[in-house]
Structure 1
Amino acid sequence: MRIVTTHTGTDFDALASMVACTLLYPGAVGLLPAMVNPEVKRFLGIHAHILQVVPREDFDLDEATSLVVVDANSWKRLDKMDALADREGLEVICWDHHMEGVDIDSGETHREEVGAAVTLLLEEMRRRDTPFSPMHATLFLLGIYSDTGCLRYSVTGRDAAMVGFLIDNGADLNVASAYLDDTVDDEHAEVYGQMLEDGEIFTVDAVRVGICAMHIKTGLAFLARLVERYRKLKGLDAAFGIFQADSQKCMVIGRGSPKFIDVGWIMRALGGGGHPGAGSAIIKRTTPEQAAEQVRSLVRRSCKEDILVEQVMSPPDRFVVAPDVTMARAAQQIAGHNLTGLLVCDGPDLLGGLSLSECRKAAKTGRDEVPVKGYVRRNIEKLTSDTSCREAVELMADAREGILAVVEDGQLIGVLTKTDLLLQVYEF
């Protein structure tokens, strides 16, 4: 089996490079290190099931016959891969842009000085005409942007060319911007001061919202962190920055708590995009004041018109297993439906969850014929049918089973999947 892995503290370039390899090498499985960056964890919370990656801890290295290492140049940067360092007959392939400190002896090496490792893989994918979806393109764009500061530093013409290639293939700039970690300098500090002085704060159904609308200098970008700092300092449930440098358009950046407001829905209504906690949009032919009024109106609608779990949840049948079923049968059910976990129910009563990881552990220790009731995780997150989807997005990031139980009076009435939530983030 061919596996793909990367460095601990996985960033977007590392994740994007892993996923690109699973497309370049059909059948390859990506092993995700235990430690990933917070923004990457948020991204994986609703996208992991469409990517061919599994947690490193769930995988037995004895199955590996080929190893692809991306965005890393040293064994010590990998997550518990030492056992492979001296394995005879193991094929090792490297895709990397770090030129110094290399101690991985690979039979096939692709190591060049570009801004992002995923750029090298994208060039190969374009050469082979490898197909990928717009959601993959968005992740690959995040990989390049995160390692080059959105093409501001450590960038080459090859990175910029691949950005154009990704945009032509459906990368969503608005969704990508919701995950980017931006920087602050003296010019940004001046804007931040103006936000603190002139920002408007109002309340809708106990939800506290701030709007800062202003003119800024041409060329000043990367303002998302200022909006988030403003939100936290003022103790707001959501904040929106409206910035105009060009007389023909306004940039709107939103940050918020998904429990109270769906920022992504507001941004999509403005022609942009994002996820429930963050997003951005460009409004053409408007003034900051006019854009602020549009945002106010949409905030009022968002606070009153939640998309509820009951509107998007899936029937529970294929996600349920009885407590006396063996771990082996449960693993077959998981594989047959391409899931990452199940819910264990005794008749109509929900007992808890069972993850793919537990099934693999049982098989490894020779306990795959024991009933699943011995492996049930009882302390799982539960939703009610009137829970908002924006709140569910936050809970999904920590759901080991990859699904959330919808219950009523202790009984399972539905299941919320990552696909259900994806339909609330992307426009299809």
Structure 2
Amino acid sequence: MQIITTHKNTDFDALASVIGATMLYPGAVGVVPTSVNANVARFLSTHKTAFNIVLPGEVDLQQVRRLIVVDTDQWRRLERMDDLRRRDDLEIVLWDHHQNDGDIEAHWSCQEPIGATVTLLVREMKKRQMELNPLVSTVLLIGLYEDTGHLSYPSTKAEDAAAAAYLLANGADLNVASVFLNPPYEEEQRDILFTMMQGTERIKHRHDTIGINIVELDRKIPMLAAIVSMYRKIINADAVFVIFINDETSSTVIGRSGIDRIDIGAILREFGGGGHPAAGSATVKSADYTSNEIKEKIIDSIKHRKSRGATIADLMSFPVTIVDGSTPMYEIRTIMQREKIRGILVGNEQQLDGIIVLWDLKKLKRESQWKSPVKAFMARDIITIPPDLQPSEAAQLMVKKNIGHLPVVHDGTVIGIVTRTDILTYFYGLLPE
């Protein structure tokens, strides 16, 4: 067994390095400390099941033959790894951009003074000509940006910028990155925000409220996308479009949506831009459209575009695996392995008694417990959802309740189940064409 771990109080460069290393070492398990930064905790609350990561207490250290350490070279910064420190038969690999003269003596290491550990991992990925999916690329980019101050810290090297370009070429989403990076809010951003709030034009379409604004810039303002995201929340609109007039030659349109019915990316693709349903942007030449023409075209597109977005019925898996409460736990484990699923419902299609998920199997410490009925370990407080619910609403429910499986019920009968992975697949566009 090989594991990958990092320092306590895990920041995004550390988390991203763990995830990146799992790409370079197939089969390795990422071990993320229990103490993580607030923005990392927020990310893991919705994304943890998308990666092969566990907590330190969930690893049998006696089975570990290779330890891969990222973003630190000090034993004291690792969580619950002291037993490994005393092992003579352990192979240790180290990836780190700090120069601390630490006490981890690695058999092989890549330790260089560079902006982020992610950059070192990306170097190897490029060497192997690896292609990454948008989710992994986005996580790596967040880590790289956090440790380089968006490529602005003095420690940033040219290779850091090249690594960022590689991740963007592999689908990294800057809009998602801006949400988790919590960029600083300076005076110039505040002034722009106040200007936007004073000039909002509200449009009602069916049950939705859309805010549209035209703002003339006299200089380049950083982090406009983050300001627009904040602006939508402050004015409590379902979607917003802000047209920033850069100069006499062009305008930049940035859109944000909190509902699936208004697809920002699709609307802004009409201007040569793009994005995904929740966020997008476009740069428009003044020779093609004036700012008012852009506004009218956006309004027209909203009113004439099909309003129905994807629903849970489009995302859910079916048929659903349901077992009786007396089913022994060893059989639950076999079903999960055979069907490659993480959750099993308990009861029947008309009456659910509980749910058992992969993480619950870690509660079993004694061999005799595997003969116990599933009802002894299942969660009984089940939250169900209707098939016409929007994916964004299901995602919010998962975050609020910290759950990864939602049974789908129609007319009193279970017809499917939706998981965190299903939601992530939808939002990141990971489904094959």
Question: How many angstroms apart in 2 are the aligned matches of 1:233 and 1:322?
Answer: 48
Structure 2: gaps spanning 5 or more residues: none
The answer to whether structure 1 residue 111 and structure 2 residue 114 are counterparts is no
Q: Which moved more, 1:118-127 or 1:307-316?
A: 307-316
Whether the 8 Å contact between 1:308 and 1:387 is mirrored in structure 2 is yes
Q: Provide closer, same or farther for how the CA distance between residues 82 and 269 of structure 1 changes in structure 2, counting only shifts above 3 A.
A: farther
Contact 2:267 2:298 in 1 (8 A): no
Alignment map for 1:287-326 (pairs within 5 Å)? 287-296=290-299, 304-317=307-320, 319-326=321-328
**SS in structure 2 opposite 1:421?**
helix
1:266 aligns with 2:269: no
Which one-letter code corresponds to 1:22 in the other structure?
Answer: T
Report what 2:159 is aligned to.
Answer: 158
Match of 2:245 in 1: 244
Counterpart Cα distance in 2 of 1:166 and 1:129 = 12
| Other-structure match for 2:221 | 220
Aligned counterpart, 1:377: 379
**Offset of residue 359 of structure 1:** 0.9
In structure 2, give the amino acid aligned to 1:213.
Answer: I
Match of 1:187, SS?
A: helix
Distance in 1, Cα, partners of 2:103 & 2:262: 43
- Partner residue in 2 for 1:394: 396
Deviation, 1:182, is: 2.0
Question: C-alpha offsets along residues 368-396 of structure 1, whole Å, 9 cap, x if unaligned?
Answer: 22111111112233211121111112233
* Equivalent residue, structure 1, for 2:25: 25
**Which position in structure 2 is the counterpart of 1:412?**
414
For 1:86 and 1:287, locate their aligned partners in 2 and report how far apart those are by CA, in whole Å.
69
My pick for the range that moved more, 379-388 or 210-219, is 210-219
User: 1:80-119 alignment to 2 at 5 Å?
Assistant: 80-100=80-100, 102-119=102-119
Contact kept in structure 2, 1:95 and 1:120, CA below 8 Å:
yes
Partner of 1:142: 142
Residue aligning to 1:195: 196
Q: 1:51 & 1:294 partners in 2: Cα distance?
A: 41
- Distance (Å, rounded) in 2 between the aligned partners of 1:229 and 1:138: 21
Query: Percent identity, aligned pairs only?
Result: 35
Give the Å deviation of 1:145: 2.2
Mapped contact 1:209–1:236 kept (Cα < 8 A): yes
| In 1: Cα distance, 2:292 partner to 2:6 partner | 46
Q: Distance in 1 between matches of 2:225 and 2:114?
A: 26
> What is the match of residue 343 of structure 1?
345
The count of residues paired between Structure 1 and Structure 2 equals 421
2:68 aligns with 68
Query: Retained in 1: the 8 A contact 2:266–2:277?
Result: no
Greater RCO, CA 8 A, separation 6+: 1
Query: 1:410 offset after TM fit, Å?
Result: 4.7
**Long gaps (5+) in structure 1:** none
Q: How does 1:1-20 map to 2 (within 5 A)?
A: 1-20=1-20
Q: Deviations over 1:74-109 (max 9, x none)?
A: 444434434434344332222122223734343333
Structure 1 match to 2:370: 368
* Residues 152-161 or 104-113, more deviating: 104-113
User: Separation in 1 of the partners of 2:428 and 2:89?
Assistant: 44
Please give the alpha-carbon distance, in whole angstroms, between the structure 2 residues aligned to 1:40 and 1:389. Answer: 22
| Pairwise CA distance, 1:414 | 0.7
Moved more, 94-103 or 26-35: 94-103
Q: Secondary structure at the match of 2:314?
A: helix
CA distance in 2: counterparts of 1:74 and 1:137, whole angstroms: 27
381-390 vs 411-420, greater mean Cα deviation? 411-420
CA distance in 2, matches of 1:302, 1:395: 28
Does the aligned pair in 2 maintain the 1:209–1:238 contact within 8 Å? Answer: yes
What is the distance in 1 between the residues matched to 2:304 and 2:6? 43
Asked if structure 1 preserves the Cα contact closer than 8 Å seen for 2:243 and 2:291, the reply is yes
Are the equivalent residues in 1 in contact too, given 2:134–2:428 (CA < 8 A)?
Answer: no
Q: Shift of residue 250 of structure 1?
A: 1.1
CA distance in 1, matches of 2:304, 2:426: 16
- Which residue type is aligned with residue 72 of structure 1? T
CA RMSD in angstroms, aligned pairs only: 3.2
CA distance in 1, matches of 2:305, 2:8: 38
Which residue identity does 2:407 align to in structure 1? Answer: A
Q: Residues of 2 paired with 1:395 and 1:119: CA distance? A: 35
> For 1:218 and 1:144, how far apart are their aligned partners in 2?
27
Tell me the distance in 2 between the aligned counterparts of 1:209 and 1:61.
54
Return the alpha-carbon distance in structure 2 between the equivalents of residues 367 and 275 of structure 1.
46
Q: Write the letter of the residue equivalent to 1:353.
A: I
Given that 1:138 and 1:171 are in contact with CA atoms closer than 8 Å, whether structure 2 keeps it comes out as yes
Inter-CA distance 131–197: structure 2 relative to 1 (3 Å threshold)? closer
Instruction: Give the SS at the match of 2:396.
Output: helix
Task: Give 1:175 deviation, angstroms.
Answer: 4.7
- The 2-side partners of 1:63 and 1:263 are apart by 50
**Equivalent residue of 1:382, what SS?**
coil
- Report the CA distance shift for 1:332/1:131 in structure 2 as closer, same or farther (over 3 A): farther
The letter of the residue matching 1:6 is: T
